[in-house]
Structure 1
Amino acid sequence: MSLVNFRDSAVLGDPEGRRIRPGVLYRSAQPFPAADEATVAQLRACDIRTIVDLRDTRETDPADWAAAEATGIAVVAAPVNPTGDGLAARMRTMATAADLGDYYVLLAESAPEAVTAAVEAAARPGAVLLHCAAGKDRTGLLTALLLDLLGVPAERIVADYARTADALPQIFAGLSERHRTALNARGARVTDSEGRELTIPAPLLDAPAEAMAVFLDRVRTRHGGAEAFLPACGVPAATLGAFRAKAAAAAASAV
């Protein structure tokens, strides 16, 4: 079946085409249940040559992208563990959209190797697809950093992120079937990296605009924006230059 929550981030992020070229940076949820001929056709139609999988190794299955890999589409693993050290404790106390934005900052800070791998993959020729499980949290923060790097205004990045709310019922249905997890009205049962049971708080089951606004503000005030944060994660200057050369709109490149 076709990918859920699939879109070109330039559509809402930069509809006038002033900062990012359309057709270079896509995002989605994971395939449900696994990539098939329809999924591969969708990827091929968009010239997607690289897939960046941000899921932790406990969430993946070798069959997920086997059909795509068989056609020559590269899959790059850039695992981010959302319940790693310090993150599980933050999840337990999360109550507001602002808390979710702060959680995203910690999530990005906790995974410099994954951030670097994702950006390096995004700089490869052809279009790239970023995805995690829902295509919301890990996908959202990586997409936001890349859009911020290109100078896309914060309000447009927020709008692209918030659009995921429309797909959440379909995403949760797919995740429930995939993981045999019972999703109730306001929470789901998962385990942290040490096997302890966690309840997913309400903000994580939504895509509140405020969460992404807070994330972008914190990255700007604490790290100087994506321009400074990505090198601090280990992304080489040459990689940033290659991504800009590939993804920046002609008008932005000329500035």
Structure 2
Amino acid sequence: MSTTDPTPPVLPLPTSPVTPSTPVNFRDLGGIPTAGGRVRDGLVFRSDDLATATEDFVRSACERHRIGHVIDLRSTAEAAAVGRGPFADRSVTRHAVSYHHVPLGEELVAGGTGRLPDTTEGVAALYADMADSSAASLTLVLSLLAATDRPAVFHCAAGKDRTGVLAALLLGAVGAQEGAVVRDYARTEAVIPGIARRIAHLVGGASGGAFAEAAVARGPIMGARAETMHAFWRIMAERHGGPLGGLRAAGLAEDVVLRLRARLVQDA
């Protein structure tokens, strides 16, 4: 049973052609400390919306990081409304980029009409509900990251909630401790104004203005507060005995975890 009441609303969808903009929340997970080591540089990246990125940004990312996989966590409705963007254009990427659409928490973000969680605990419970309802999808993504030999980037719209849940569980899988996971999540707080501008610009009209106003108000759902990720970590421990318990119940194999660590972790 969901612990988030009322149900959160969706991001509003664009009503006119998309004008590209530059992502503000793109970053390498490399360097994050793990038990006995650190995440390798240049293998896994997280981002805000890449489907609306400029061609120059995508071209530079592909040249610099050799991105081989784009993992799109947006809902079916979001992906249909906006498309895939320049990563789908071989003339921009200059090499093959595999696309994986793996919606997270689709029932929580696609078509909802309720209010936003207005407490840190409510946002953390929303994240836990998302992790539970999308456990099979999250397991699929971890399996992909364990198997590929090419750099990958995952994204949603803001690069904060769905992306933050995946990043937290991935980091937990490779042995990062709670503090390191929290610090990575909280890095997004500094770019919330830029994220809000991108989404408001994408949506346009009254809906975009309302979203921008909500972001300025900066309630818990509109920020990336350290206490939110601490609470998410605690809730997952209460529900499942740890961050990966729900994924293991959904089929995450120990072999996948071991391969993730072998591929993504290097000695400190």
TM-score, normalised to structure 2's length? Answer: 0.78
* Worse-matched range after superposition: 25-34 or 123-132: 25-34
Whether the aligned pair in 1 keeps the contact of 2:23 and 2:49 (CA below 8 Å) is: yes
Inter-CA distance 237–15: structure 2 relative to 1 (3 Å threshold): closer
- Following superposition, the deviation at residue 17 of structure 1 comes to 8.0
Whether the aligned pair in 1 keeps the contact of 2:29 and 2:45 (CA below 8 Å) is: yes
- Following superposition, the deviation at residue 146 of structure 1 comes to 0.9
Whether the aligned pair in 2 keeps the contact of 1:53 and 1:132 (CA below 8 Å) is: yes
Residue 126 of structure 1 corresponds to 150
* AA at the equivalent of 1:96: T
- Following superposition, the deviation at residue 213 of structure 1 comes to 0.7
Inter-CA distance 141–167: structure 2 relative to 1 (3 Å threshold): same
The root-mean-square deviation of aligned C-alpha atoms, in Å, is 3.0
Whether the aligned pair in 2 keeps the contact of 1:36 and 1:67 (CA below 8 Å) is: no
* AA at the equivalent of 2:103: P
Q: 1:168-225: per-residue Cα shift (whole Å, max 9, x none)?
A: 111111111212222243369xxxxxxxxxxx98221111111111111111232122
Residue 201 of structure 2 corresponds to 177
Inter-CA distance 156–92: structure 2 relative to 1 (3 Å threshold): same
Inter-CA distance 73–213: structure 2 relative to 1 (3 Å threshold): same
SS at match of 1:115: helix
Whether the aligned pair in 1 keeps the contact of 2:23 and 2:53 (CA below 8 Å) is: no
Residue 7 of structure 1 corresponds to 27
- Following superposition, the deviation at residue 246 of structure 1 comes to 0.7
Residue 24 of structure 1 corresponds to 43
Distance in 2, Cα, partners of 1:201 & 1:172: 10
Inter-CA distance 238–35: structure 2 relative to 1 (3 Å threshold): farther
1:136 counterpart (160, 166, 169): 160
Inter-CA distance 184–133: structure 2 relative to 1 (3 Å threshold): closer
Residue 71 of structure 2 corresponds to 52
Inter-CA distance 125–162: structure 2 relative to 1 (3 Å threshold): same
Runs (5+) with no aligned partner, structure 2: 1-20
* AA at the equivalent of 2:133: S
Residue 138 of structure 2 corresponds to 115
* AA at the equivalent of 2:144: A
Residue 62 of structure 1 corresponds to 83
Whether the aligned pair in 1 keeps the contact of 2:35 and 2:177 (CA below 8 Å) is: no
Distance in 2, Cα, partners of 1:157 & 1:225: 14
* Worse-matched range after superposition: 163-172 or 63-72: 63-72
* AA at the equivalent of 2:47: S
2:178 counterpart (154, 166, 176): 154
Whether the aligned pair in 2 keeps the contact of 1:34 and 1:63 (CA below 8 Å) is: no
Runs (5+) with no aligned partner, structure 1: 189-199
- Following superposition, the deviation at residue 233 of structure 1 comes to 2.5
Inter-CA distance 37–93: structure 2 relative to 1 (3 Å threshold): closer
SS at match of 1:185: helix
- Following superposition, the deviation at residue 237 of structure 1 comes to 3.4
Distance in 2, Cα, partners of 1:36 & 1:184: 25
Residue 240 of structure 1 corresponds to 257
TM-score, normalised to structure 1's length? Answer: 0.81
Residue 221 of structure 2 corresponds to 204
